[in-house]
Copies of this chain bind each other. A is one copy, B any other.
């Protein structure tokens, strides 16, 4: 395909893309397909001869898109949002054309420096102190693994990486997170070689936030038994209910026991732009690392995970390799971000973050965040006003957790089953999509407001669908 053929096809794509953004709300959020439906419509082998692009695009439009779940839909209330805003898409277009590899400064000087600049902008917008240095990771799973690995190395004076965890001569290393922490924490604990059994899941209070008294007890027990607390993961905005772990008392305990404090603010971190939400960050000076995802609630295309860390030396000692074929004359004076995480190869992710911060400006982003929070609060009031519904957790941000509790239905299993059926009925409509979780052992529904095109009418529609389904 020549550059001129590319030009012709790309203009056609742009019209489809703009139309898609304008009318995505008219599609079903989740497609009406069964496993295998899409696969059955695709040939079993690659063609020998090249095919005209028109045919590829027709298959994309007619087979792939109707089988996709539309995360960019205004009726998206599931999980957390993963926004693909227009300026972010424009950045991805440019970045895919450059095809740059951002492993070293020299392999993409401007990308490296833009990453430094954009991450500093973001740090300052979030009110994080200048002791933090930022680097873009792909996802929070990776960022949390990076923190767990760096903590492991610090706790063993880098013996784990040098001679292995088995022979490092260190006591058993333990990790702490609340029972509500994200699944990437147990996964990272497993992958980093700590072992799941060394993860202490600390109990939570009525608001599903970690109880520092229970953390203290666990730390004390482990220390008394000769184990070494290596890392505590505090969550700001848990996945189930956006519970906010109390950072300051947790941080104080980390200092006392010498544990690395990693703060997982994957979703809630975006709210750090709002002075009225900054209370969550109290105690942040005690944190060793912090991650939030601009690709969730900050309008930056997935993937873009902002990782901030204080101890850059420990990070480099954990991840640095320097084979001859990667050395450049500039290494002593530049940041080579390949040495700040797991992957060698790195996409140019800073451009979309920079475009979004500039296109909306801090005020534009704050306005959007506040609108989503207000819509969630409004929805919460609606739910609370109905006697046969109950809100089951605090809603400090854009998420409301609730369930239907019809008069006379008290058996827990029956309520779970009833709400499971209610969720299926709500989603069957196709104009909205909600997901569920488990809180306090109960099956509950989650409504997360955060998609960039979501307005009051979308939340209203969700609520009327919920009401209607509950009336069956």
Binds B, one of A181-189, A249-257, A280-288: A181-189
| Contact between B1 and A7, CB atoms less than 8 A apart | no
| Contact between A85 and B1, CB atoms less than 8 A apart | yes
| Contact between A84 and B96, CB atoms less than 8 A apart | yes
Residue-by-residue, is A7-43 near B (CB-CB < 8 Å gives 1, otherwise 0)?
1011101111111111000000011010111110010
Find residues 356-388 in chain A having any chain B CB closer than 8 Å to their own CB. Answer: 357-364
Is A141's CB within 8 Å of the partner chain B? yes
Across-interface contacts of A89 in B (CB, < 8 A) = 6, 10, 93, 96-97
Is A277's CB within 8 Å of the partner chain B? no
| Contact between B149 and A191, CB atoms less than 8 A apart | yes
Residue-by-residue, is A141-172 near B (CB-CB < 8 Å gives 1, otherwise 0)?
11001000100100000011111111110101
| Contact between B4 and A18, CB atoms less than 8 A apart | yes
Given A36-B113, A38-B114, are A71 and B100 neighbors across the interface (CB < 8 Å)? Answer: yes
| In the bound complex, CA of A347 to CA of B305 (Å) | 13
| In the bound complex, CA of A66 to CA of B105 (Å) | 14
Binds B, one of A205-213, A320-328, A462-470: A320-328
Is A275's CB within 8 Å of the partner chain B? no
Is A83's CB within 8 Å of the partner chain B? yes
7 other contacts beyond A56-B87, A162-B196, A164-B173, with CB at 8 A cut-off? A47-B358, A56-B355, A69-B107, A163-B195, A166-B166, A303-B345, A324-B436
Binds B, one of A57-65, A214-222, A406-414: A57-65
Across-interface contacts of A196 in B (CB, < 8 A) = 161-163
| Contact between A97 and B71, CB atoms less than 8 A apart | no
| Contact between B344 and A86, CB atoms less than 8 A apart | no
Across-interface contacts of A55 in B (CB, < 8 A) = 358
| Contact between B68 and A98, CB atoms less than 8 A apart | yes
Across-interface contacts of A351 in B (CB, < 8 A) = 60, 64
Find residues 334-358 in chain A having any chain B CB closer than 8 Å to their own CB. Answer: 334, 342-345, 347, 351, 354-355, 357-358
Across-interface contacts of A50 in B (CB, < 8 A) = 358-361, 363-364
Is A431's CB within 8 Å of the partner chain B? no
A262 to chain B, nearest CB (A): 16
Binds B, one of A118-126, A308-316, A390-398: A118-126
Given A72-B99, A92-B92, A361-B51, are A45 and B190 neighbors across the interface (CB < 8 Å)? Answer: no
Find residues 230-282 in chain A having any chain B CB closer than 8 Å to their own CB. Answer: 239-240
Q: Which residue of B lies closest to A40 (CB)?
A: B113
Across-interface contacts of A457 in B (CB, < 8 A) = none
Across-interface contacts of A471 in B (CB, < 8 A) = none
Is A108's CB within 8 Å of the partner chain B? yes
Residue-by-residue, is A97-138 near B (CB-CB < 8 Å gives 1, otherwise 0)?
111110001111111011011001110110000000000001
